[in-house]
Amino acid sequence: MPAYVISDVTIRDREAFETYRTRAAASIAAHGGRYLVRGGEVETLEGSWKPGPLIVVEFPDIETARRWYHSGDYAAALEVRDAALSRNLILIDGISS
């Protein structure tokens, strides 16, 4: 069953963010992930949540997503993360269709 990594991002430094994004995208692809949402306009329909750009990545399953997050591939992106952005990041199990 698929799993999803969802990130609510605040960009700190545009140049560092581009470096992070390039490295993260390569690591996601290498681990079988794919972007479902990568930024775009966010419209709050209910409540008071005002997220920044949202990113949603789908992985084949939750264990693959965990391996990606703890991988050396993704560690290269994490080297610039703190300069590039702050965020809330969650991992959630999907449902089989």
Q: Which string of DSSP letters, residue by residue, matches the chain?
A: --EEEEEEEEES-HHHHHHHHHHHHHHHHHTT-EEEEES------SSS----SEEEEEESSHHHHHHHHTSHHHHHHHHHHHHHEEEEEEEEE----
69 pLDDT exceeds 80? yes
Statement: the pTM of the whole predicted model exceeds 0.85: yes
Position 96 pLDDT exceeds 90: no
Q: How many CA atoms lie within 13 A of 3 on its CB side?
A: 19
Contact 57, 38 (CB under 8 A): no
pLDDT on residue 89? 96
pLDDT at 80: 96
The pLDDT, as a whole number, for residue 48 is 94
